[in-house]
Structure 1
Amino acid sequence: VRQLAKHVGIPHAIVEKPPSAGLWKGQTDEGEMGLSYDDIDRTLFLMLERRFSKEETVSWGIDKEKVDRILHMMETSQHKRDPLPRPKGRLP
């Protein structure tokens, strides 16, 4: 996203501003997660797009603890990506 923003001319201050929920001064998403978006993006790309195993992903220089944390976050948030159940039958 940042590369695209730079390409289309979004001001540098906006592109480089750390993502934050803005709940308190100095809070950042990366600080809350304990992971950088670069590590998350690289891990997800290798594991989901390239179908690398955890071991292969670690061999590309991503810390094992970070990979484990990202996998845990994926597992515990799966319900957010699942489609909502549909009611059976017809609605009146």
Structure 2
Amino acid sequence: MKYRGEEKMSSEIKSFEDLLEEIKKIVDALEAGKLPLDESIEKFERGASLIKECYLNLESVKKKISLIVEKNDGTLDLEDFDDESQ
């Protein structure tokens, strides 16, 4: 089953914030409990897909992050982000 407008949306690159906004709207619609079962399932599937897209987006950004570290001599250096140190 395709969520209405999914074909159009999948061809557009959406920002992380846009994805979150769409997820929030889906959650609100599902929590309202007024949708027919079929439409609820479609929205749930769309929401799961958007969450996966957000996760992949975050993973991509995480790989690109560099930290600016000030050395003892006052110069700045770039280091790769190390998520295991946190």
TM-score, scaled relative to structure 2: 0.39
More helix by share: 2
Structure with the greater relative contact order (CA < 8 A, sep ≥ 6): 1 or 2?
2
Greater gyration radius: 2
More strand by share: 2
